[in-house]
C-alpha cells in the first residue's frame, strides 16, 4: 500500500548582525506564520541576561559542560561567536526531534554556524536580516542598555564582519520597517510551503 507523502520538516536559518532587530522580528513571525515553526534552543556559555530562562531562551552551560558535549559530538555546529567571548551551538537533538515531528525548525545563529548548517542541509531556507544602516545598528545596540561600551564595540566589529556573509543566504530582508520585515519573512515561508506542496 502506498502511503500519501506526509508533511516534512524544514530547517529555517536566520542570521543578521546583533542589534538588527532579528529577535523581535522573529518573535512576531512565530505569531503570524502559518508554517509549523519551532524555535531551536541553542546552547551557550554566555551567562543569562535578566529575564532569560534556562531551556527557553538558551541552554545555559558552563564551559566545561559545553566542551564535554562538543567532544561527545552533540552539536550540529558550534562557534565562539565574539572574539574572546562566549561559545554558542546548535544541539543535534533540538533539530532532529523537531524535523521528525514535521516542524519547521528555526535556527537563529551566527554566519559561521549558518555556513556549517547550510553545508549539511543544502535545502535549508536561509534568511539574512539586515539593519537599515550601520548608524541605526549603533543606535539600537546603545539603546538596549544591557551592554558595556567594550561589548558594543565588539558587536559592531562583528556586525561589519557578518554583513559580508549576507549574499550567501537565499533570502535577504532589510529591517527598516518592522511590519514590513515580518510580512516579507512570512511571504518567504509561504512560498517555500507552496513549493513543497507542488513537489509532492
Ligand atoms: P546573544 O548573546 O545576543 O543571545 O546572541 C549573540 C549571537 O549568537 C547572535 O548573533 C546569535 O545569532 C548567535 N547564536 C545564537 N545561538 C547560536 C548557535 O546555536 N550557534 C551559533 N553559531 N550562533 C548562535
Cβ atoms of 162 and 113 closer than 8 Å: no
Percent of the chain with pLDDT over 70: 95
Helix axes 134-144, 149-163, angle to 10 degrees: 150
Report the run of H or E that residue 149 belongs to, with start and end: helix 149-163
CB contact at 8 A, 133 and 38:
no
121 Cβ contact list (under 8 Å, min separation 6): 11
Return the residue whose CA atom lies nearest to atom 22 of ligand 1. Answer: 113
**113 CA: nearest ligand 1 atom:** 22
Give ligand 1 pocket residues (Cβ under 6 A): 18, 42, 46, 77, 79, 81, 88-90, 108-110, 112-113
The closest residue, in CA terms, to atom 6 on ligand 1 is: 18
At 34, list the grid cell: 502559518
First-residue to last-residue Cα distance in the chain: 17
pTM of the predicted structure, to 2 decimals = 0.91
Question: Could you identify the residue written with the cell 519573512?
Answer: 185
Show the domains of the chain with their CATH numbers: 10-199 (3.40.50.300)
CA distance 113 to 168: 13
Q: Give percent of the chain above pLDDT 90.
A: 71
Per residue in 86-113, pLDDT tens?
999 999 999 999 999 999 999 999 999 9
Q: How far, in Å, from the CA of 110 to the mean position of ligand 1?
A: 5
By alpha-carbon position, which residue is closest to atom 10 of ligand 1?
A: 110
Nearest to 124 by CA among 76, 181, 158, 160: 76
Amino acid at each position: 500500500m502506498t502511503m500519501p507523502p506526509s508533511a516534512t520538516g524544514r530547517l529555517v536559518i536566520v542570521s543578521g548582525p546583533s542589534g538588527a532587530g532579528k529577535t523581535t522580528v522573529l518573535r512576531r513571525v512565530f505569531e503570524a506564520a502559518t508554517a509549523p515553526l519551532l524555535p531551536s534552543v541553542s546552547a551557550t556559555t554566555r551567562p543569562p541576561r535578566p529575564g532569560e530562562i534556562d531551556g527557553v531562551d538558551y541552554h545555559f552551560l558552563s564551559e566545561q559542560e559545553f566542551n564535554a558535549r562538543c567532544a561527545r559530538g552533540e552539536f550540529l555546529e558550534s562557534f565562539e561567536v565574539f572574539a574572546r567571548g562566549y561559545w554558542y551551538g546548535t544541539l543535534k537533538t533540538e533539530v532532529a526531534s523537531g524535523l521528525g515531528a514535521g516542524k519547521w525548525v528555526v535556527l537563529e545563529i551566527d554566519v559561521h554556524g549558518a555556513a556549517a548548517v547550510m553545508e549539511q542541509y543544502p535545502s535549508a531556507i536561509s534568511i539574512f536580516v539586515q539593519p537599515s544602516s550601520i548608524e541605526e545598528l549603533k543606535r539600537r545596540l546603545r539603546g538596549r542598555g544591557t551592554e558595556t561600551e567594550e561589548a558594543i564595540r565588539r558587536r559592531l566589529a562583528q556586525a561589519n564582519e557578518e554583513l559580508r556573509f549576507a549574499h550567501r543566504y537565499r533570502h535577504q530582508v532589510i529591517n527598516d520597517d518592522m511590519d514590513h520585515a515580518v510580512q516579507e519573512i512570512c511571504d518567504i515561508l509561504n512560498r517555500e510551503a507552496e513549493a513543497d506542496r507542488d513537489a509532492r
